[in-house]
Chains A and B, each alone.
Chain A
Amino acid sequence: MASDAIHIETGLVAGPVAVTSMSWPGDCGAESIFVGRTRAETHGELGALLRLEYEVYAPMAEKLMDAMARETAEKYDGRAVRMMHANGPVGLGEASVVIQVATPHRGEAFSACRYLIDRLKHELPIWKHEIWEHGRTFVEGCCAHRDTNSQANNSPCVSDDHARRTVSKTSNTEGITT
């Protein structure tokens, strides 16, 4: 497969993201789509969740997203890969991340989608802020990927299931009226 036949689209969007039709490779019979959305939650002290706000180190995230998408295409025989992530506010039920992968057969499409969302969560310099009725918290998920053998950088990643919350020093005065 010639590399120029692969369709890659990655990027950041100032708000919710959406699934769109990809330029369809004729030799593909499967497209797997992952959509990550804001889940409604209630904090014991801060009340109901109003929205998320994503902070992104954009120049680095954009470079990594393109590299990840290309590596995924190579690894899973993907002919089209699309990965978009929000950079800004995302309301309840709205999508913060969309991944679409087209492959000749379904097995690779499912695997590629899972591989890409897992890498995104471990590597991309993106931070989730939770805006509650009565305050803000930072979500501290994964200790970021290290591509080095330096002794100081061998700590394991924290599972997404064990993400921690740090209450922001900044009070959320706007949230109460939103």
Chain B
Amino acid sequence: MEVKILMFAVLAEQFGGSSLLVEVAEGATVADAIEIMTDGEESKKKWLSPDRVAVAVNQSYCGRDRVLVAGDEIALIPPVSGG
């Protein structure tokens, strides 16, 4: 099934775009989708470490153990700086 991943600010710059589509298996989690989008490369994974990047699915914050369904929109949220 296909899910959409959105990236913002420094992540969009590092990954060369603000969105991409990822094919994941049924029952996959957010963590699985992140693993696929980084191809398991440490240089990419370091930008997405859980201690600095929060995740949201369908506009709500959640954990990376969240199970995905087809069409979900995952947002990778680097440290925020509103205000």
* A59, B62: Cα distance in complex, Å: 16
In the complex the two chains form, is B65's CB within 8 Å of A150's CB? Answer: yes
* Residue from A57, A128, A129, A150 within 8 A of B63 (CB atoms): A150
B interface size (C-beta, 8 A): 25
Asked, given contacts A60-B56, A145-B61, whether A97 binds B75 with beta carbons under 8 Å apart, the answer is no
The proximity string for B residues 49-70 relative to A, scoring 1 for CB distances below 8 Å and 0 otherwise, is 0111010100111111100000
* Residue from B6, B59, B75 within 8 A of A63 (CB atoms): B59
* Residue from A117, A141, A148 within 8 A of B81 (CB atoms): A141
CB distance from A71 to the nearest CB of B (A): 15
Residues of B within 8 A of A120 (CB): 82-83
* Residue from B59, B64, B65, B79 within 8 A of A144 (CB atoms): B79
Stretch from B8-16, B20-28, B35-43 forming part of the interface with A = B8-16
Asked, given contacts A60-B59, A144-B79, A144-B80, whether A55 binds B54 with beta carbons under 8 Å apart, the answer is no
In the complex the two chains form, is B61's CB within 8 Å of A54's CB? Answer: no
State the main secondary structure of chain A at its contact with B: mixed
- Kindly state whether residue B77 has any CB partner on chain A within 8 Å: yes
* A156, B35: Cα distance in complex, Å: 24
In the complex the two chains form, is A152's CB within 8 Å of B64's CB? Answer: yes
Residues of B within 8 A of A139 (CB): 81
In the complex the two chains form, is A57's CB within 8 Å of B77's CB? Answer: yes
In the complex the two chains form, is A60's CB within 8 Å of B54's CB? Answer: no
CB distance from B79 to the nearest CB of A (A): 4
In the complex the two chains form, is B63's CB within 8 Å of A146's CB? Answer: yes
* Residue from A124, A129, A149, A168 within 8 A of B80 (CB atoms): A124
Which residue of chain A has its CB nearest to the CB of B50? A152
* Residue from A63, A155, A170 within 8 A of B50 (CB atoms): A155
Asked, given contacts A126-B80, A127-B78, A142-B80, whether A57 binds B8 with beta carbons under 8 Å apart, the answer is yes
In the complex the two chains form, is B80's CB within 8 Å of A125's CB? Answer: yes
6 shortest interchain CB distances as A-B pairs:
A150-B63, A126-B82, A141-B81, A127-B9, A144-B54, A60-B59
* 15 A–B contacts, CB within 8 A, in A order: A54-B82, A120-B82, A121-B81, A123-B61, A124-B82, A125-B80, A126-B80, A127-B9, A128-B81, A128-B82, A138-B9, A144-B79, A150-B65, A152-B50, A158-B79
Q: A141-B82, A144-B79 are in contact. List 10 more A-B contacts (CB 8 A).
A: A60-B75, A120-B82, A120-B83, A126-B80, A128-B81, A142-B81, A144-B54, A153-B54, A155-B52, A169-B13
